[in-house]
């Protein structure tokens, strides 16, 4: 980040307009990067906190799905268990616990985008 800021300042103090624009962009990049890093760390910390609460309550989904020799979950097995977690969320849409378990089911099924979305929803309900 220090090098990016130095390069940005060097370009910002140059005489050409295009160099100044590029220098300003160089100075904005570390800010955006720091913001994204902080958000990801907060997301991870909240997810971990929710997982600890569920673990203490005995509410974490059991990881008993069959795996390939490489360690990946067999998708058909994850897809077979998915409706159970989806029904739980439909029955209790305001439960962060249900959304957390649904997120785990999405992740097991290989749908990372929906898993993160469901985990964000769980986090909002947890607050």
From residue 117, how far is each of 7, 17, 85, 123 by CA, in Å? 37, 42, 15, 10
> pLDDT category, 58, cuts 50, 70, 90?
very high
* Residue-level pLDDT at 111: 93
Distance CA 62, CA 126 (A): 21
121 Cβ neighbours under 8 A, 6+ residues apart: 96, 99
> Whole-prediction pTM value?
0.81
pLDDT tens sequence across 99-118: 999 999 999 999 999 999 99
Domain boundaries, the chain: 1-42, 61-127
Query: Do the beta carbons of residue 96 and residue 50 sit within 8 Å?
Result: yes
Question: Which of 69, 118, 71, 72 has the alpha carbon at shortest distance from 95?
Answer: 118
**What integer is the mean pLDDT of 78-92?**
95
Averaged pLDDT of the chain: 94
Residues 6+ apart with CB under 8 A from 58: none
pLDDT at residue 63 in the model: 86
We find that the CATH architecture of domain 61-127 is: Alpha Horseshoe (1.25)
pLDDT confidence of residue 127: 84
pLDDT at 29: 86
Buried b / exposed e along 76-104 (16+ C-beta atoms within 10 A): eebeebbeebeebbeeeeeebbbbbbbbb
């Amino acid at each position: 980040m220090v090098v990016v800021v130095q390069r940005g300042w060097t370009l910002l103090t140059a005489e050409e307009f295009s160099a100044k624009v590029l220098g300003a962009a160089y100075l904005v990049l570390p800010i955006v990067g720091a913001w994204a890093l902080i958000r990801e760390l907060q997301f991870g910390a909240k997810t971990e906190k929710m997982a600890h609460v569920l673990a203490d309550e005995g509410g974490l989904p059991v990881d008993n799905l069959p795996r390939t020799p490489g360690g990946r979950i067999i998708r058909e097995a994850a897809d077979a268990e998915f409706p159970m977690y989806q029904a739980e969320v439909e029955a209790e849409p305001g439960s962060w616990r249900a959304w957390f378990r649904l997120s785990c089911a999405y992740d097991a099924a290989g749908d990372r985008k929906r898993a993160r979305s469901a985990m964000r929803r769980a986090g909002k309900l947890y607050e």
